[in-house]
Structure 1
Amino acid sequence: MSSDDPTPEPPRPGRPSGSGPEEIPDWVRQLEREIRVGPAARLRIWLGRHARGLRLGVGAVLVLALLTYVGAAGYRHVRRPAAQPRAYPTVSPPAGIQATSAASAPPAAGPFDGTPAAAFPAGAAGITLPPAKATGGFTAKQVSAALTKIRTAMVTARLDRAFMSAKDRERLVRQFAPDERHYVREVLTDESFANVATRLAPGARLLPDEPRVKGRVTYRATRDDQGVRVLRVTTNFVWAYAFHGPRVVPGDGVVIVHDTLVWEVPHPSDVRSGARGLWLHDMGSYVANVDCAASDKGLLNVGTPREGTALATPEPDPDSLYDPDRSLDIPDTC
């Protein structure tokens, strides 16, 4: 007997049913009732049905475990410097002056910082001689020799620490012409000698820093009152000295000496041998930030500030005292 409605073919094992995953044929249920399935088989069946979801779940668990480990490792790394330090072998540094390397060494703070002297050359480098040229009967060689003698005398008088600390003036005196030495040695009193040279007061202590120096040297040929040809050299310099002592504001501990000296060197053909060499024609100076008691004796020491104002420093513009072009005519504040 035939029918117009075909009998549906039971789905083949291994091929998905068109009704979806939830529809299970009766013959499969019948088969499950007839066959006793053991625990191992049930596990394989469960794994087969949930394989994709299981893979995703295991992956998530592994990622979570990895993040947990990395996080814990990072925390240990961050906390490691705070752990109790452990002793390790060291060596003692050798004796002597040392320097420790640094990625970027900071500039050293100096006693002249904050003052105009910070931009001055150090020591004798601040004494620049003009070019020697033939003038007024003096040859270029004679001019050069005269300028060199004057520069040497200035270095001794203002920068030679051995001379500044000694009571003996002879190291400077013998640089003058023989006929001028009596005047320099005997006639110049201690106070007037300070116009020419620096001598330290007892107990005064300079820092190792070289004095800062700024000024100029000018020369010309002329004749003196007796008609003798002379090379007249004018030196105008500011000397800044750094002393030991407290520094509260810039310039504390810095003593300023500003001098203007007029030197003469006679033409060797116009004078006898005793008159050949250096002579002093004129001199003048001022000092600032000094100990007044020492200054009265022609000696140099740093003053003790009173209420933040340095001794022997006129107001209202102390920085102008560092200018070689400033007039020497200033009020005496000692």
Structure 2
Amino acid sequence: MTDDRPNSASPRHPTSGPGPAPGPGWPRQPPADPDSRHGDRLGRHSGKLLGGATALLLLAFVGVVGAAVLVSMPQAGGRPVTYPTINQPAGASASPPAAVGPFDGTPAAAFPEGQAGIVLPPAKRSGPFTEKQVATALTKVRAALVTARLDRRFMTTGNAEPLIRQFARDARAGLRKDFTSDTFAAFATRLAPGARLTADQPRVKGRISYRATRDADGIRILAVTTNFVWAYAFQTSSTAPGDGLVVVHDTVVWSVPYPDDVERGSNGLWIEDADSYAANIDCAAFDKGLLDLGTHSYGGPDHPDPDAVFDPDKTLDLADTC
């Protein structure tokens, strides 16, 4: 993992001058891990986002085989080896039954559908922010999440403005820059050309919290942290559980500055920090920040719990196999 100052932070002090110059160029590659056990492609991206704090982007390619989410590893004896997510009785086949729906046989089958999975916490006064101001901020964050991760028109067209215009005016230029690279993948979903979702709504699980604090410049902000797993069903001819799923886990810190602390153009929604990975992806597409279903890889799980990618409480710091 690396961390960088954002390349698109705009001034928020009423007396501030022009924003900082862009930081180091995108992308940057860390050194390869000599102890890696993976037999397939490896890769990691670090990027900068708009806002007033560090931003990270971590992407992992994980293959889905049967009911398991698996990291690609060398084959055993020239044959693919699969590890199911549940223990099999002695003498039983490790192959799970065919799935009826795209989420069947995976943890996402129990997740709420679409927007129903994005539940706001009760709005209460926090620091200088009134209950009404907190409620307004939470509503803005939820609307941005719906557009960024669930709106099919947004995901399938090249127009990012429906999301960008939900942010503070001074944040928009930085966001547009993020959408010219793959940095946006830390907080928004775009499909690769030719990628096709099924008619099923994505399954969503996670939570939202908030607190009043100050940013690095001393500006009072309401920081809203979202932590969600998004499971997308792609069209596939396979009937094995999970084969058609791409799973994204992200943690984003959104912020709304206290109105008295900033210029009018800086009043509104910002992103302070973002972390994400995607599983079972097409690596070439995700090099551009785009989602598509990956080709299957075989091997044992790199995590003791192969369902970890579906759990918003698990770490985002997973091995990258692109």
TM-score (norm 2): 0.67
Distance of 2:230 and 2:181 partners within structure 1: 19
Per the alignment, in what secondary structure is the counterpart of residue 269 of structure 1? Answer: helix
Aligned to 1:257: 248
CA deviations on 1:126-163 (whole Å, 9 max, x unpaired) are 00100000111111000000000000000000000000
Aligned to 2:193: 202
Higher RCO (CA-CA < 8 Å; seq separation 6+): 2
Per the alignment, in what secondary structure is the counterpart of residue 318 of structure 1? Answer: coil
What's the C-alpha RMSD, in Å, of the aligned pairs? Answer: 1.7
User: What does residue range 6-21 of structure 1 map to in structure 2 within 5 Å?
Assistant: none
Q: 2:308 aligns with which of 291, 303, 320?
A: 320
Aligned to 2:46: none
Q: Is the 8 A contact 2:100 2:239 kept in 1?
A: no
Aligned to 1:109: 100
Distance 1:245 1:314, change over 3 A: farther
Distance of 1:112 and 1:302 partners within structure 2: 14
Distance 1:115 1:187, change over 3 A: closer
Aligned to 1:158: 149
Per the alignment, in what secondary structure is the counterpart of residue 190 of structure 1? Answer: coil
Instruction: Report how far residue 247 of structure 1 moved.
Output: 2.4
Instruction: Report how far residue 304 of structure 1 moved.
Output: 1.5
Per the alignment, in what secondary structure is the counterpart of residue 138 of structure 2? Answer: helix
Per the alignment, in what secondary structure is the counterpart of residue 203 of structure 1? Answer: coil
Q: How many pairs are equivalent?
A: 224
CA deviations on 1:243-284 (whole Å, 9 max, x unpaired) are 001224211000000000001100112211100111110001
Aligned to 2:171: 180
Unaligned runs of 5+ in 1: 1-107
Q: Is the 8 A contact 1:204 1:243 kept in 2?
A: yes
Distance of 2:296 and 2:239 partners within structure 1: 10
Distance 1:154 1:314, change over 3 A: farther
Distance of 2:275 and 2:213 partners within structure 1: 21
Instruction: Report how far residue 314 of structure 1 moved.
Output: 4.9
CA deviations on 1:154-208 (whole Å, 9 max, x unpaired) are 0000000000000111111111101111111114553211111000001100000
Q: 2:222 aligns with which of 226, 231, 244?
A: 231
Aligned to 2:213: 222
Distance of 2:134 and 2:146 partners within structure 1: 19
Unaligned runs of 5+ in 2: 1-98
Distance of 1:187 and 1:208 partners within structure 2: 29
The reply on whether 1:288 has 2:279 as its aligned counterpart is: yes
Distance 1:284 1:154, change over 3 A: same
Aligned to 2:67: none
Distance of 1:266 and 1:118 partners within structure 2: 38
Instruction: Report how far residue 316 of structure 1 moved.
Output: 5.3
CA deviations on 1:295-331 (whole Å, 9 max, x unpaired) are 1110000112135x69xx8555331100001111011
Instruction: Report how far residue 226 of structure 1 moved.
Output: 2.2
User: What does residue range 124-163 of structure 1 map to in structure 2 within 5 Å?
Assistant: 124-163=115-154
- Structure 1 moving runs of 4+ over 6 Å: none
Q: 1:270 aligns with which of 252, 261, 264?
A: 261
User: What does residue range 55-70 of structure 1 map to in structure 2 within 5 Å?
Assistant: none
Distance of 1:184 and 1:314 partners within structure 2: 34
Distance 1:227 1:171, change over 3 A: same
Query: In structure 2, what residue type is equivalent to 1:193?
Result: F
Q: Is the 8 A contact 1:246 1:252 kept in 2?
A: no
Q: Is the 8 A contact 2:160 2:179 kept in 1?
A: no
Q: Is the 8 A contact 2:205 2:229 kept in 1?
A: yes
